[in-house]
Chain A
Amino acid sequence: MKRLTVPIIAILFLVAITAASCDGDATIPPTGEELVSSCIDCHSDIEVLAIMAEPQQEQEEPEEASGEG
C-alpha cells in the first residue's frame, strides 16, 4: 500500500497543476507573483492616478452613439 501512495500523490499533484493552467503557455508566472507590483499600487489609488495623469488632448465628442445599430 505504501508503495502506491507516493505515485498516487504525484499523479494528483500533476493533475492539479495541469487543471489550474491555461493550454500551453509556459510564460505564465506563479500565481500571485505580480500582485505586489507597481501596476496595482498605482492603478488602485485614484489620487495617485490623478496626480500622475498627463493632460488629455481636446477631442470632439461623437454627436451621438451611431454605428450600424
Chain B
Amino acid sequence: MPPLEVWEKVFLDDAEEMRSTHLKVGCMICHRGDSSTMDKSAAHEGLIIDPSETSCNTCHSEIAHNNESNLHTTLSGFENALLTRGANLAAGSPASEAFKNHCQTCHTTCGQCHVSKPDAMGGGLVSGHEFKNPPSMKNNCVACHGSRVGAEYLGTNTGVPGDLHWTKNGMSCSDCHRTEIHGAGEVATNRYHTSSQVECIDCHEAVLDKSVSNAHHRLHTEILSCQVCHSVDYKGCYNCHVEVSEQGTCYFTSDPSVMQFEVGFNPITSPERPYKYVVLRHVPTNPDLFASYGANLLPNFNALPTWKYATPHNIQLKTPQNDGCNYCHGQEQLFLLPSDVTPQELEANKSVIVYELPGMGE
C-alpha cells in the first residue's frame, strides 16, 4: 500500500459503514471534539485521534482488559530482554530514552489493528472507518511483521517458497493467531512464554499420537521443534544501531539481512517447548545497540544469546533436511557451529551452539 496523503488517512469513503454498530453512536462518543460546528479548529478542540484506550473497553471489556498487558501493548518482550542484558530502564536514564524513542514507538492499539494502519507504519484508515475483524493481514499484521514473518509466509524471499498454509490453503494470520493476539491478561516475559500461545498441534494433534503418526514423528517430536524438519531458509538480522538525527528524527541502521537456517540447542526450554533442538534466528541486537545514547548501556549483554528461538513462518511438508536420515544427521551446514558465530558473540551463544553433531541414536 503506497503512502497516503494526510487527508487520505482520515477520508471516510464508506457511507454504508456509517450505519454500523460502532458508528451508530456518533463520532464524538469516542473521538470527542465538537460535531456541531463547521469551524475546523473548534470542531477538533479536545479531539482524541486514537480513542482505543478510552473507548473500546466500554463494550469490549474483557478483550480490553487482556490487551492492557498484551505484548503488542506493553512490548514486555523487548523490555525484558534489555533488562536481562543489564539495561537501566529507570525513567530518564539514557537506555530508557533509547527504548522510548526507538522501541516503544512500535506498540499498537485496538484501533491500529482493527481500523487504521499502525502509526509506526504511517497510519491512516484502512477501509474508511470500517472495523476489520479479523484485521487486514496485509495492512495490519504484515505492515509491522513484514520483513521476516511476512516475507517468509508470503514467499517473497528470493528462491524460498511461501508457507504452505498460505500457498495451499490461503490461511491468513488470524486463522492460527486468534484470541491469543489479545493476550491472556498477564504480562509475558516474551512471546513464547504466554499461556495462550499458538501451537502446531492445535490443529495437527495426530502427530503426537504414536499409534497413527509416522516413524519420523514417533522418533523426533519430543526432541525437535516442528520447524527443525518443516521450515526452510529464513532471514536473520545483524548490527542494529539506533540514532537521532540533528532534526530530531529517530532512526536505525543495520547490516543487510542474511538468509540462514541454523539448528541449535533450545534456549527457552519449558513444558510447552521441551525440545532439545530448535531453529535459531540471529536478531539484530549487539552490544553497541544504544551506543549513541551512552557507553556500555547493555553491560550484561552476554546474558542472552543473539541467536534466538525462532518459528519461521515458511512451513513445508517436504524440506531438504527431512528427505531422509542422512539429510540431517551429520550435515554440518544445518547446525549452529562455533564457526558460524562471531568471536565477539561466542560467550553470549555458548548455550545454543552445537559443539558435537547429534548421532543417529539421539
Contacts and interface: CB of A to CB of B under 8 A. Distances in A.
A68 B191 contact: yes
B145 A68 contact: yes
B149 A69 contact: yes
B134 interface: no
Given A40-B18, A49-B10, A65 B35 contact: no
**Prevailing SS type, chain A contact patch:** loop
Question: What is the size category of the interface that chain A forms with chain B?
Answer: 35 or more
A23 B58 CA distance: 7
Contact of B148 (A39, A41, A43, A69): A69
Given A23-B59, A53-B7, A37 B27 contact: yes
A29 B146 CA distance: 41
Nearest to B191: A68
B3 interface: yes
Interface in A15-37: 22-23, 25, 27-29, 31-35, 37
A64 B146 contact: yes
Nearest to B237: A66
A46 B8 contact: yes
Interface in B1-59: 3, 5-8, 10-13, 15, 18, 23-29, 31, 33, 35-38, 40, 43, 58-59
A28 B121 CA distance: 32
Interface stretch (B86-94, B244-252, B317-325, B330-338): B244-252
A69 B150 contact: yes
Given A42-B43, A56-B6, A66-B106, 6 more contacts: A22-B58, A29-B25, A34-B26, A38-B36, A49-B10, A69-B148
Interface of B: 3, 5-8, 10-13, 15, 18, 23-29, 31, 33, 35-38, 40, 43, 58-59, 61, 77-78, 106, 120-122, 142-150, 191, 245, 249, 251-254
5 contacts: A37-B26, A49-B8, A60-B245, A63-B252, A68-B78
Interface of A: 22-23, 25, 27-29, 31-35, 37-44, 46, 49-50, 52-54, 56, 59-69
